[in-house]
Structure 1
Amino acid sequence: MFDVIVIGQGLTGMLTAIWLKKKGKSVAIVHQGTGKIIQSTGLMDILPGMDGTIEDLIKEYQIERWNDVFIKESIESFNMLMRDLGYPYRGDVGKPVEVITGSGHIKLTGLFPETIVPFPKKGNIAIVSFKEITDFQSEYVKGNLQKRRPELVIYSVNVSLGKNSNRTMNQLDAARLLEKSDVRKYVIAQIKKYFDKKVIDKLDLVVFPSVLGVMEWKTVLNEFEMEIGSPITEAVGMPPNATAIRLNEFLKKEMIRQGIRLYSDTTVISAKVEKRRIEKINIVNNKFNNLKAKNYVLATGEVLGGGLEDASLSNLFVVGATNDSKVTRYGITGGIYSILSSYEAVSMISGAYSHGNTIKGGDN
């Protein structure tokens, strides 16, 4: 028997599992598919789908129990985890910042990885696109951005990766290619040639699509910044975003390192319930089986299902978008809400407080 079984392997599921394991719990994850994290931007937005503050989040999702102490502790725990994993995040949820998207629009976000830089309101910037990638065009991005930031001087640069492919490349393909030293040098040489031609000395920011490597992101980012001599940022857009893939990969590696038991490609088909508690869940993978735990966390990112329709069960903790339609009215949740929701479940299971209580902060 496990202490906790987490159902779902998105951001909420992985964070919950990792934090519980760090508190000494025996943890298993049951999941089907890859998790919606890889379809995200990897940014921790406060209100995905619209701009807003942490106060707007509390009001919009009707979660007044999340007080300042709890929010601060949750965010600090996330930041500490990501630093330990080698993919640190920056930012202040009390002061969201503007970042550029892959379409050239500006949006607010709460926390962001080190490959992202808050976007300036004025100055000189360059937007770099790649001939092999069709879903990010520097001229198109420049056109949209110029309407919103007319005071910016914007240069549009289109270079080649120097690699052929039998199919259309996406940004993740480019990110993997740019982990190779020869590809980086080839791209940097083209950018420098363009800057020399335009007599550009130093820029306030150089914008790339989400391509600055995957697991070797730090090497890629550092070399581009050193060689180009300007701050670099990624502009996240339609998936796959390397920013999200990195987050997913680092969290998965940590789960494996910690010894969290993974039941992949597994569906929960029913649950045995006695006295308002789940006694076991029945699963299907390559055969019928059942799993037992003291507590269960539902982090499927969708409506309640898999025989766990009753969220009032005493040992069932519902996190993330699974909570119900009030947190999915824009089609997505994720971001800061996922962090807070996961940390709340961990605090409940570890005994920091119980259902319905105002959150005063969990135990560390």
Structure 2
Amino acid sequence: MSDAQMFQIRTVEAPRLPAPSSTTGVIGWMRQNLFSSIGNTVLTILGALIAWALIEPLIEFALVKAVWTGDDRTACLGADGEHIGACWAYVGDYMQQFIYGRYTTSELWRVNTVYGLFALLLVPLLAPSVPYKGINALLLLVAFPIVAYYLLTGLVIGDTVILPIVETAQWGGLLVTLVIAVTGITASLPLGILFALGRRSNMPIIKLISVIFIEFWRGVPLITVLFMSSVMLPLFLPDGVTFDKLLRVLVGVTLFSSAYMAEVVRGGLQAIPKGQYEGAMALGLRFWPMMYLIILPQALKLVIPGIVNTFIGLFKDTTLVLIVGMFDLLGMIQSSFADPSWATPTQAHTGYLFAAFVFFVFCFGMSRYSIFVEKQLHTGHKR
């Protein structure tokens, strides 16, 4: 028998076959992560049963048995007055107050303009591929606050009323929530960075001031800060000197959040190897160029989860302003319960469910974007 008869030599490359369907796609992921062993299979099934037991009543209440249209409470009552699903007709009727509070109805276009400008400037800044980031950041951080302030509060030059004055006492709902959250987030990050650098400073006075500031604000609850800034602070001011209540709340929330932000940033600074500092100094860089160009970019990248976690906590803590008489989204929902025209057994459940949904959308959006940023920046840690 010849060699050609004993061996079959392929002269053409064999076609490439796809991977087995059981190892790729959704099925492959489930086999690898959910059903990889008997124990994982049991836990997966048990977890699915528990999740369904919790989610099924929520779906039935919020969607299946919900009432979507109606003019008053009678639309959300059963035939014999029994409990039915969520009363979304009530939410629709109060939607304007939930978003704008008691802002003057004829001037709502001003709030909508602020919302639109904020989205128009924020989205390109967050998108990695959009150019001119510097100009965009300058417009968002410098020009936008000035324009938003005059749009929301009004503008009077001499005796000429360009925009009617709308007192902050008329603000409420999602407007107040976003104003407090965005201001606190924007202002607390740079303040936190400064106090974190101050706490690690070699200058005793700077370090002492930073430590006292951080420990003081971390040692008191936010409710106490809001109460002091709104109720007690005016007692210590000279006669005739006063500050707007919203301004006092913004200052209190910003200082409170900046103390926690300082500790998050300090953790990132301590994680940077000493060789990075020595290398920067060997290049002849002074303190601020070294921090701006070498240290802070690395430190902030390491603590992105902590920074975003602080932002999310701040966003949710805005609900505490109700204690000082400011009606944010949750406050407006609670105040709507006093309306007898929508008083039903499911009114409170529906209102709180709507508030939970709104807060979840914003907080989940921030968390997902932080994960996206981590993946974009942590290129050196990829395997």
Q: TM-score, normalised by structure 2?
A: 0.24
Which gives a bigger RCO, structure 1 or 2 (Cα 8 Å, sep 6+)? 1
**Greater per-residue helix proportion:** 2
